[in-house]
Amino acid sequence: MAKRTKKSNGSKGTGKPAKNLAKMPQGNEVPEPRALAIAQARPRTSGDLARLAVDGVYDSLAGAISVGQGNLILNAVGKVIQIKKLELQLGALKKKVEAEPFILPGA
């Protein structure tokens, strides 16, 4: 059994890939991340955020992005949703938000 040592990036492990990682397509080609196009276009509506979250999970499972990058995407979407909820409850834009379904500020 190999002794676990700390790697230069701070993680622990033997250097072997995890058994539960998604299988790569034939030819070991990494697919293009679908969430990247949505993120570069700056999500403006709730539908854009939902697509970004779903595509981030898909890309993570497909191996196009790392698990940490997928986690970053989901955390960012969660924070935007929290901000919108607070604006609906307490913000000065409450009447404007009621008139417009879900438009992000600055869009």
pLDDT tens, 51-74? 999 999 999 998 899 999 999 999
* pLDDT above 50 for 94: yes
Q: What's this model's pTM, rounded to 2 decimal places?
A: 0.58
Contact 30, 64 (CB under 8 A): yes
Contact 56, 67 (CB under 8 A): no
